[in-house]
Structure 1
Amino acid sequence: MTVRFLHTSDWHLGQFFYNHSRDYEHEQFLIWLLKQIQEKQPNALLIAGDIFDVINPASKAQKQLYQFLADAHDLAPHMQTLMIAGNHDSGYRIEQVEPLLEKYNAKTVGVIHKQADGQIDLERLLVPIYDAQKNIVAWCLSLPFLRAAEITGINEQTSNSQSAIAYLHQQLIAEAKQRKTADQALILMSHAHMQGGETSDSERPIIIGNEEALSIALFDEVIDYVALGHLHKPQKVQHAHIRYSGSPIPLSFSEINYKHQVVDVTIAPTKEDESRFQFQAIAIPRSVQLHKIKGELNEVFEKLKALASGEISNIDQREYVDIEYHTLTPPQPNLRQQFEDALPKDRYRLVRISRQYLNHEAHNIEASSMSLEPPTPEKLFQQIWEKQGYSADDNVLKDFISLMNDAQKTLEDEHSD
């Protein structure tokens, strides 16, 4: 038996980009994805976490997801949609709508549940994937973003986060091995930062300095494919079958050159040759372009004027512009308006201006920026910390992020009661 599935992740529905809604861009992606589903008729669609951008997504973002699930079910009734929670999601929130998800042949794993005896409930993490005749063609080992509070202290083997993660993988893979037959594939879906993964500046820093990045040694050789989420750049992690699908749209200017994609995977477990595992990266068309303009002021103005012209009436479809200009002098008071005037009319959104102040005596550069985007809690903490006269310290930031994650977990626990 063969299993075919599409691997995607990090949708970040509801994201605001420098205070601009991404609804149009997400809508275009979802329309495109529905066409892929209709054409390819896969057994499953895997969404490897960060479905939403925040733990309390706006109703419009939730409607986008549920309307997509309904439309996908109409186009491919036998297809299962399997989702896990990422670090941006509320695992409890996305599990609360299980009755709705069942209508659309969809299932989500948001948190790690425990049985009455305190042991991990492995049953909820092992999801069968069926073909059109209702035969099990694969098992999906579904691991949402693992928070220490959910997985530590279960027994003597889970005293800290790293040991608990290793124990969970061992137990889950052992259970999967017992269930699978020779003609069934094993797929592991996880939202995590793997060692060697290349990051952009838009991933929330769930770890500091990569010291807690996970090793691929967690994945037994019996696993046919590892569908990863969290890192936005599409990439393999040491092996072709261990992959990040990446985000469907650029979530920061550092992702301008990413080749956004959905991965189309076919596995034939009984074959021993190279045809056993096949995959194709399907490029996602970009609906709104991003432009990063850099250089000295005269260069910046020339580049702005050289951009394509032609009015785009809908502001949500206008292209984003980020300007980084280099100068030896303080900025003129009306510089932003000069930049706006240099841009072709009614086509672009100037969302960020940063200045690289050239100190020619020391031959170095000081950076300052002007942005409409509200600071993240991490950036706000760093600003306050440094304003108090303390130097940047990775350990301090790590402690802050740990406290913030614990507070978020407490809030989610209270909402779930």
Structure 2
Amino acid sequence: MRILHTSDWHLGHTLGGLSRRLEHQRFFEWLRDLCVDHQVDALLVTGDIFDSANPPASAFEDFYGLLADLRAAVPDLEVVVIGGNHDSPTRLEAPHPLLKSLRITVLGSLPRLETNSSGQMPIDVQRVVVPLHDRDGLVRAWCVAIPYLRPADLATRWLAPSMADNVQDPLVEGVREVYTDAVEYAKGIREPGQAIIATGHCYMAHGKLSELSERKILGGNLHALPADLVSEDVSYLALGHLHLAQIVGNNSTRRYSGAPIPLHVDESHYPHQVVLVEFSGEHVQTVTSVRVPRAIEFLRVPETGVGSPDDVLAKLRELPNDTGDIPPPQWPYLDIRVRLTDPMPDLRTKIETELANKVCRLVKITVETPGTYAALSDTIANASLTELDPEFVFMKLHESRYGGPPKSLMLKTFRDIVNRIAEQGRPV
């Protein structure tokens, strides 16, 4: 049996106000062809299908369009989709009755049954544990489809204040219980030679975060889930949430597939990929990372480090001019990083002037300065702002940002402003 693992699509995402729809559409075309070429039996999508709980209609159109294309191209393909922390569980699950008839399972949140005689609401394991068939219709594996777990999804006893006195981290142990219960059910119904596969959308211990585009989850990343969260009975653990593809605990069968496109300029160097997993009976035979083609390139000026304003502007002049050969939606994204030793209020205007008619789209300008950014209270003790001279405060602020005093022209301009305010009888 062969499965394909992918996650963190973030449909509806924008970068610097620019739509990523073209990149997602190119990825979907490539993904469909990959499923055909490699005769994939099951596709696992492990969360953050959408970028927000209320994505644009175009995001739903592309998602359902992909499912329809997959059904037409690979009629026997089974699809399991779980919700992530960015997804709305109810919106994701809304078409489940229809999709189920097409062998597409969608779990936006953890389903539970009615309260039993013990006062507990057990997991609906019959919905969570999904049979995966091969092209001959035989069950070859069982997927324990666990979506992103919010604290409210855990058994109520783990949320009791007194539980903290009994276990080191009640939230982590509550998650462990969910996986244990579901995996034990799968073990009870599987036959010899059938693998158990589990999914998750979570933060595992020692995972490498993309701080600028990944939200902290499950009470914050301090509640990192341990590598031994699931038992060795699980042949493969398909994870989502971290955008950088990586394995967990040096075990190649526990891994994040990573996002298929960069979701921030700082992710442009990531090895964006999907994962093909081949099974022989209940054991993983091979795990292969397949790089996703980049539909739109990222440019950085300068290529490494930061540049002075003059150097940056000179490099922008060297960028190719628009000749009409490439449609603007396919132009590369541009990330600029500049170091200022003095304020430069017209920096963006100068950059935009140089970029006129250039084949690129500006998404970010990062400005670095040599100052320490120390607060005024850190350098002056026991003084109120009203007791301080305005020029003294201005000098200290400039020093904290730029590492030294302002130039004479700037200081003169500041004094002129202060004098005008004073002449009007207004407090400075």
Which residue number in structure 1 is paired with residue 253 of structure 2? 241
- Measured in 1, the distance between the counterparts of 2:372 and 2:237 equals 50
Which residue number in structure 2 is paired with residue 394 of structure 1? none
Q: How much does 1:63 deviate? A: 0.6
Number of aligned residue pairs: give it. Answer: 360
Q: How much does 1:23 deviate? A: 0.7
- Measured in 2, the distance between the counterparts of 1:41 and 1:186 equals 20
- Measured in 2, the distance between the counterparts of 1:13 and 1:235 equals 22
- Measured in 2, the distance between the counterparts of 1:155 and 1:146 equals 13
- Alignment pair present for 1:38 and 2:36: yes
The gaps in structure 1 that reach 5 residues or longer are 368-417
Structure 2 letter corresponding to 1:135: L
- Measured in 2, the distance between the counterparts of 1:15 and 1:270 equals 37
CA shift in 2, pair 1:43/1:113, >3 Å: same
Q: How does 1:284-303 map to 2 (within 5 A)?
A: 284-293=292-301, 294-303=306-315
Is the 1:25–1:288 contact (alpha carbons within 8 Å) kept by the matching residues of 2?
Answer: yes
Which residue number in structure 2 is paired with residue 80 of structure 1? 78
Structure 2 letter corresponding to 1:91: P
Question: Which shows bigger deviation, 98-107 or 230-239?
Answer: 98-107
The structure whose residues are more often strand, as a share, is: 1
The gaps in structure 2 that reach 5 residues or longer are 164-169, 375-398, 403-428
Which residue number in structure 2 is paired with residue 226 of structure 1? 237
- Measured in 1, the distance between the counterparts of 2:341 and 2:105 equals 57
Which residue number in structure 2 is paired with residue 325 of structure 1? 338
Q: How does 1:134-213 map to 2 (within 5 A)?
A: 134-153=137-156, 160-200=170-210, 201-206=212-217, 210-213=221-224
Is the 1:358–1:366 contact (alpha carbons within 8 Å) kept by the matching residues of 2?
Answer: yes
Q: How much does 1:346 deviate? A: 4.1
CA shift in 2, pair 1:266/1:344, >3 Å: farther
Question: Which shows bigger deviation, 217-226 or 100-109?
Answer: 100-109
Q: In terms of Rg, which structure is larger?
A: 2
Q: How does 1:270-309 map to 2 (within 5 A)?
A: 276-293=284-301, 294-309=306-321
Aligned counterpart for 1:12 among listed residues 10, 27, 30: 10
Structure 2 letter corresponding to 1:177: K
- Measured in 2, the distance between the counterparts of 1:51 and 1:188 equals 18
- Measured in 1, the distance between the counterparts of 2:220 and 2:91 equals 30
Deviations 1:319-364 (A, max 9, x none): 111212101110142x2232123337241111222221223999x9
- Alignment pair present for 1:255 and 2:267: yes
Q: RMSD between aligned alpha carbons?
A: 2.5
Structure 1 letter corresponding to 2:280: A
- TM-score scaled to structure 1, two decimals? 0.81
Q: How does 1:369-388 map to 2 (within 5 A)?
A: none
Secondary structure of residue in 1 paired with 2:348? helix
Secondary structure of residue in 1 paired with 2:247? strand
- Measured in 1, the distance between the counterparts of 2:322 and 2:285 equals 46
Q: How much does 1:47 deviate? A: 0.4
Which residue number in structure 2 is paired with residue 266 of structure 1? 278
Q: How much does 1:69 deviate? A: 0.3
CA shift in 2, pair 1:332/1:270, >3 Å: closer
Q: How much does 1:208 deviate? A: 7.1
Q: How much does 1:228 deviate? A: 0.5
Which residue number in structure 1 is paired with residue 64 of structure 2? 66
- Measured in 2, the distance between the counterparts of 1:100 and 1:299 equals 58
Which residue number in structure 1 is paired with residue 132 of structure 2? 129
- Measured in 1, the distance between the counterparts of 2:186 and 2:296 equals 42
CA shift in 2, pair 1:100/1:359, >3 Å: same
Is the 1:152–1:164 contact (alpha carbons within 8 Å) kept by the matching residues of 2?
Answer: yes
Q: Which has the higher contact order (CA 8 A, sep 6+)?
A: 1
- Measured in 2, the distance between the counterparts of 1:111 and 1:361 equals 43
CA shift in 2, pair 1:358/1:154, >3 Å: closer
- TM-score scaled to structure 2, two decimals? 0.79
Q: How much does 1:157 deviate? A: 9.8
Structure 2 letter corresponding to 1:191: H
Which residue number in structure 2 is paired with residue 398 of structure 1? none
CA shift in 2, pair 1:338/1:207, >3 Å: farther
